[in-house]
Structure 1
Amino acid sequence: QDAGAEGPNDGQGPGAEDGEEANQSGAQEGVESGDPQVVDLAPLEKGAVGPGNEDAAVFATNASPLGLIANARTAGLNPMLLPTADPRATADSMKLMRENQIAVGLGPDFGGTERLTTTAQIAANAEELPGGGGLVFPGRRMVALYGHPWGGALGVLGEQGAEDAAAIAQQYADQYQEFSPEPVIPAFEIIATVAAGGAGDDGNYSNITPAEDLVPYVDAVTEAGGYAIIDLQPGRAHLLDQAKVYEDLLKRPNVGLALDPEWKLHGDEVPLQQVGHIDVSEANEVADWLAELTRENQLPQKVFMLHQFQTQMIRNREQLNTDHPELATVIHADGHGTPGQKMDTWNAMLTDLPSGVWMAWKNFIDEDQPMLTPQQTMEIEPRPWIVSFQ
């Protein structure tokens, strides 16, 4: 129960002596046997101390009301303090959830009974991410190489083989570690569907790389303790159709997805004649599918990233759905130029940013004038959670 959603003394739950009834009446409908149950945290008589519950995992944050924490302790429960209101926040919280059948979240930040049911189930069943825990952020930052396996023309990633690229990504990540209190892990952003000058047999102006060609790069970075992000440049293709091509890769715990509206074509448009765009409804459609895939396969949270350097690239962005607990939604501020030009782009992308979005920054090795150093990059406000190199 997200105990703060109704308040600790609202009479919604049974007393301490009614623990069995609480398990039944408070459980979210649809929770299967063996999954964590969700119950109301009930008030006790003044001065009474509850017996606790050996099946309960109780979580709080620094924002949890002190009264709720006191009530939990009075009930014989020992709250675990988390950096963010989610049972997946740390390796210890996921371990606690695997060992228990009742999830109690103290405060409204846990998102209510339905959301806590989902996050507790994932915490109890999912693999952990590099560095521990089942949330992408805020437990880590990423420094990524961007490009395509077939060569360096599309980015630094393809300038060498997979294992050498992973070693370089680790070197880049190490340069950023001293400027981040969170662990910095290496990452690849791998262009999977590549915008093409020709229409191709399907007329979509987008070349689909076979998933098996990406596997060596996904393997190399994840074996190095990192993360892989599959990037789509759709042309005239439907983004959801292209995402489904890589479903097997996306079933891996350390693989996320990125959409690049720059390369979306409409009507009779052809590449390089305009900066493309999508309506946010197409991004939301992919997010719905990816969240369901993540949930059904009991995976840790996934990166879901949208590239943007012009406001028009994501139409109706204020309607972006960031409510999926299975996804960490990221806006990646692309754009090259002088530091001043890049900060103008960054600030424009921050304007009217939907709640629940994490920010990412790209450094262009050749095009930036000059490229920011690791310290300069990490002094950007807000500090980027992903930094990629192209």
Structure 2
Amino acid sequence: MRSTSMPIALAAVLLASGCGATGGGEEEEQRRAAVATSVPDARLTLVADEDPVASAASTSRALFDTADVVVLARSGDPAGSLLAASAAVGLGVPLLVEPADGAAADALTAELDRLGTTTVLAVGDAEGGTSDEDAGGTDREVVAVPAAAESVAAVTGLDLGEVQETDDGQAPAAVAALDPGDPVALQPPGDAPDPAGDVGTLPAVDRAEPLEGTLVMATGDAGSLAGIATARAAGARVQLTGGVTDPRGSADLVALLGEEEPDAVVALGAGFGAEEGLDWKLETAATGTQLPGGGQLLFPGHFLVALYGHPGSGALGVLGEQDVAGAVERAQAHAAPYEPLVTDAAVVPAFEIIATVASEFAGPDGNYSTEVPAEDLRPWVEAAGQAGIYVVLDLQPGRTDFVAQAELYRSLLELPHVGLALDPEWRLAPNQVHLTQIGSVGIDEVNRVVTWLADLTRAAALPQKLLVLHQFQVRMIPERERLDTSREEVAVMVHADGQGGQGDKQATWSTLRQTAPDAVAWGWKNFYDEDAPMLSPEETIAQVSPRPQLISYQ
């Protein structure tokens, strides 16, 4: 059941209404208007109407219980909509929208009736919203004013301050930033209409208690402008996502959710309607945990530059050529040259740590793989996290399977900055040995890893995890077209590991991309000793197309 917040009078924002003299010389009693708000019952309320009329009504319905006064703008009237937003936020009442073509507006009429509205402030081109017949015979007063700041200030009694010019692209952010206690007049650039003469006054509005525990996350599409104003009028916090519909993709939203822990969230924007799993994505974002580089989604917002190898062994890659502190500095130094080259993503240094090392000996378990204890790797993993470095744990499983080995590192993979890599070159069949045959892995086994890693990520409400598939021959992952890319908890990447001359490497790159499934990211490896020559950062960005999301060094 909704718990209604009782209206309270706030003297600092009460409107001055006109007072006339009675025949006996006494002051006419001031008209007053009541407004009531309440926190939505559900943790998540979806307002995904594409029609701006319906979107405005739905937002009002989510946040307001009653409103004797509402503000009205006409769809497609920028000047009227902006000043109407200023008025609605200043008054503390909903902003509704009437159709641009004068067509019947069932959603508008129904919302005015539900709110019990008796007075409508129609701004700009708005005419009042409903005819007497549509209004069901109610005696609803319409006060119409032009889209002129002086007229809106006069009819509302609000001190709107200086006019703030706002173009279409800035309008959602400008409305979201409106302060109910200190409203400003928003209008498009250019000349404003002339103010009207005597436009009358509205009743004095007793603002409702602000919904400080409610957060509205809004894509900022044009159709949600009135909803943003209504949210600010109700005292709710509005956070724009920059068009992102997955809450994990906005670093600002993740930070806000983690800091404020809102009682309820309203998702405002047509795009949210197509976002599958919005509920669990919101709960993940609400942890406030961020990836190195910000947010909870890896791509396209991140560009990783990794050192590959095994701690304590320079023979297995550059990562192990120095201690952990030296590796942190070296990873940062490798990433730095890419920062001026990659301006549309956060450049993030990374470690790719070989966690299970292919062995020429069967070992006690007979699997030709040496599994390094997770606790031995933890100092490297934790030092990386503290330095803002992403970590990928690489598996070379020999004759065992990838899921069994991944399970050994669950405790590390439960950290938010740790992903996983599968190295099929070192996945042996029962009678194979390393360096005699090049290994391969069936797609069903790969998909089991996808499921295992995605389930772990969802259960722990972790940021999206990277799953790297190393490959330099098509036969290493046959039937790759069946790769499961449906789990949004995981970003799956194909990493081209070819070495040698740049012509051969480009040929490998092209061949691997010919059978690429949809929705995979791409990685490229630069070899210090085996490439002829190794590409510089500038050459890597210029010559490897399309641009990879991970560059690793071995």
Counterparts of 1:260 and 1:293, CA distance in 2:
20
Asked if 1:91 is matched to 2:251, the reply is: yes
Q: TM-score, normalised by structure 2?
A: 0.60
Please, which runs of 5 or more residues in structure 2 have no aligned partner?
1-44, 65-105, 116-207, 233-237
8 Å contact from structure 2 (residues 318, 553) kept in 1: yes
- Structure 2 residue aligned with 1:119: 281
Counterparts of 2:226 and 2:479, CA distance in 1:
44
Query: 1:12/1:241 Cα in 2 relative to 1: closer, same or farther (>3 Å)?
Result: farther
What does the per-residue CA deviation read over 1:41-69, in whole Å, with 9 as the maximum and x for residues that have no partner? xx9427979999762432327xx6x54x3
* 2:277 counterpart SS class: helix
What does the per-residue CA deviation read over 1:290-321, in whole Å, with 9 as the maximum and x for residues that have no partner? 11212222221111111111112112212212
Read off the aligned partner of 1:60 and give its amino acid letter: T
Counterparts of 1:247 and 1:340, CA distance in 2:
39
8 Å contact from structure 1 (residues 197, 205) kept in 2: yes
Counterparts of 1:136 and 1:92, CA distance in 2:
15
- Structure 2 residue aligned with 1:386: 550
RMSD: 3.2
Query: 1:373/1:254 Cα in 2 relative to 1: closer, same or farther (>3 Å)?
Result: same
8 Å contact from structure 1 (residues 59, 87) kept in 2: no
* 2:357 counterpart SS class: strand
- Structure 1 residue aligned with 2:94: none
Counterparts of 1:111 and 1:246, CA distance in 2:
35
What does the per-residue CA deviation read over 1:127-169, in whole Å, with 9 as the maximum and x for residues that have no partner? 1112321112222211111001131111111111111011111
Shift of 1:84: 4.1
Asked if 1:45 is matched to 2:108, the reply is: yes
Read off the aligned partner of 1:19 and give its amino acid letter: A
* 1:45 counterpart SS class: helix
Counterparts of 1:16 and 1:80, CA distance in 2:
15
Asked if 1:208 is matched to 2:371, the reply is: yes
Read off the aligned partner of 2:497 and give its amino acid letter: D
Counterparts of 1:83 and 1:336, CA distance in 2:
40
8 Å contact from structure 2 (residues 216, 231) kept in 1: no
Read off the aligned partner of 1:45 and give its amino acid letter: L
* 1:143 counterpart SS class: strand
- Structure 2 residue aligned with 1:219: 382
8 Å contact from structure 2 (residues 351, 384) kept in 1: yes
Query: 1:221/1:17 Cα in 2 relative to 1: closer, same or farther (>3 Å)?
Result: closer
Counterparts of 1:387 and 1:115, CA distance in 2:
31
Shift of 1:206: 0.9
Asked if 1:257 is matched to 2:420, the reply is: yes
- Aligned to 2:517, which of 333, 354, 364? 354
Counterparts of 2:107 and 2:52, CA distance in 1:
9
8 Å contact from structure 1 (residues 143, 169) kept in 2: yes
8 Å contact from structure 1 (residues 83, 89) kept in 2: no
Query: 1:216/1:287 Cα in 2 relative to 1: closer, same or farther (>3 Å)?
Result: same
* 1:188 counterpart SS class: strand
- Structure 2 residue aligned with 1:177: 339
Structure number with bigger Rg: 2
Query: 1:85/1:329 Cα in 2 relative to 1: closer, same or farther (>3 Å)?
Result: farther
What does the per-residue CA deviation read over 1:187-212, in whole Å, with 9 as the maximum and x for residues that have no partner? 11000111111111211111111112
- Percent identity over the alignment? 42
What does the per-residue CA deviation read over 1:77-134, in whole Å, with 9 as the maximum and x for residues that have no partner? 756143643211232111344444225263457743x421121110012411123211
Higher relative contact order, chain-length normalized (CA < 8 Å, sep 6+): 1
Query: 1:110/1:139 Cα in 2 relative to 1: closer, same or farther (>3 Å)?
Result: farther
Asked if 1:295 is matched to 2:338, the reply is: no
- Structure 1 residue aligned with 2:539: 376
- Aligned to 1:234, which of 380, 384, 397? 397
* Greater shift in the superposed pair: 80-89 or 49-58: 49-58
- Structure 1 residue aligned with 2:138: none
Asked if 1:156 is matched to 2:314, the reply is: no
- Structure 2 residue aligned with 1:328: 491
What does the per-residue CA deviation read over 1:248-268, in whole Å, with 9 as the maximum and x for residues that have no partner? 111111111111111111131
- Structure 2 residue aligned with 1:106: 269
8 Å contact from structure 1 (residues 265, 277) kept in 2: yes
Read off the aligned partner of 1:352 and give its amino acid letter: T
- Structure 1 residue aligned with 2:500: 337
Counterparts of 2:239 and 2:108, CA distance in 1:
20
- Structure 1 residue aligned with 2:3: none
Counterparts of 1:268 and 1:246, CA distance in 2:
27
Query: 1:238/1:58 Cα in 2 relative to 1: closer, same or farther (>3 Å)?
Result: same
Counterparts of 1:147 and 1:339, CA distance in 2:
22
Q: TM-score, normalised by structure 1?
A: 0.84
8 Å contact from structure 2 (residues 47, 59) kept in 1: no
**Count of residue pairs brought into register by the alignment:** 365
